[in-house]
Amino acid sequence: MDDRKNLSFARRLRFALAGIGHALRTERSFRTQALCLVLVMVGLAILQPPPLWWGVVILASAGVLAAELFNTAIEHLADHLHPETHPAIRIVKDCAAAGVLLAVVGAIGVGVALLVNLIRG
């Protein structure tokens, strides 16, 4: 039984923040995507779209960051369990990376839809 299941919310939150911190320190893609999130927030503050657009953009951005964190976790676990190159591990890593790509494409789609809405608005 894992003792970490019954820890307080604050303690579990620290684990999650440690994961984000690790990704920020070690993953260039995550840092790039986090920087994009900051720029997107600045853009939203300047453009001041309706609150619904804020929610959609933040949700899409969070999806990209979450996908990157899942990708990082999968890569680390796969490398730990099977350090040498293996075709099955390559497929696992490629599929995880594809998940990040799809999340990014979706977020870009949200951004395009927002700009079209603002231009037509």
Q: What is the pLDDT of residue 1?
A: 54
Class of domain 3-120: mainly alpha
Instruction: Give the residue ranges of DSSP H helices in 1-121.
Output: 9-26, 28-47, 51-81, 87-120
Domain ranges in the chain?
Answer: 3-120
Contact 114, 57 (CB under 8 A): yes
Output the pLDDT for position 61: 97
Q: What does the block give as tokens for 39?
A: 């720029």
> Which residues in the chain land under pLDDT 50?
none
Res 14: pLDDT: 96
Q: What is the pLDDT of residue 74?
A: 96
How much is the pTM? 0.90
Segment 52-84, tens digit of pLDDT: 999 999 999 999 999 999 999 999 999 999 999
| Residues recognised as catalytic | 68
Per DSSP, the three-state class of 88 is: helix
Residue 88 Cα distances to 71, 82, 95, 100, angstroms: 16, 10, 11, 19
